[in-house]
A and B are shown apart, each in its own frame.
Chain A
């Protein structure tokens, strides 16, 4: 099935560093979502983006909806140990009522204290 290209696949960083990850697609999306999955838990929504060019923050997290509508970016500033987890992007294209999320494969983040 269709998937998003999410990069990088994994990151290992020092506490305090900033983190950047992105998702790209060959298709246009009308909604971009960013989720975080803690070990042993279900994904939790971090940020939702609904308009091309939109820049939205949630604490130390900032996400952007790309102007082309084919990509999105997530930045984490001043990382802390509890940022560890898997970050997923997901895109939603309006196709009438029968629309489904398309998922990236995730970016696994490890933070060294």
Chain B
């Protein structure tokens, strides 16, 4: 079984809709991240959380919010989706004591029409 899972894997939605992407991990890591990937732009950090009570904005947090419901769960919400949020979204986890090497989920492909 995968250590980092993301649901859904694919989602098509309309402008203005609220969308939640979920991430779960069984690695026991304390740190979790949400990234967005667009062609030619690499991986851009949206939000990250170093423990359950810690939430931090990344470089492109506008239009997004997150919730760290438990050590193993970190969800990303788009309150009112817009077309330029069409992208591939990745969740990742890391462990401070393990050198902070990040391990990624399989991704969610989101299309906003």
**A residues within 8 Å of B by Cβ?**
1, 3, 31, 33, 35, 40-45, 48, 50, 88, 90, 92, 97-101, 103-106
Contact = CB atoms under 8 A, between A and B. Distances in A.
Given A41-B107, A42-B90, A105 B100 contact: no
B41 A31 contact: no
Given A42-B104, A42-B107, A31 B43 contact: no
B107 A101 contact: no
B106 A101 contact: no
Given A88-B42, A106-B42, 13 more contacts: A1-B44, A35-B104, A40-B107, A42-B92, A43-B43, A43-B104, A44-B104, A45-B102, A48-B99, A48-B101, A98-B50, A105-B40, A105-B42
A24 B50 CA distance: 27
A97 B99 contact: no
Contact of B103 (A1, A45, A90): A45
Contacts of B107: 40-42
B48 interface: yes
B40 to A, nearest CB: 7
A33 B101 contact: yes
A101 B99 contact: no
A101 B102 contact: yes
A97 B50 contact: yes
A45 B101 contact: yes
Contacts of B4: 42
A106 B39 CA distance: 10
- For the complex of A and B, the 5 pairs showing the least CB-CB separation, nearest first, are A42-B104, A105-B42, A1-B59, A43-B104, A103-B43
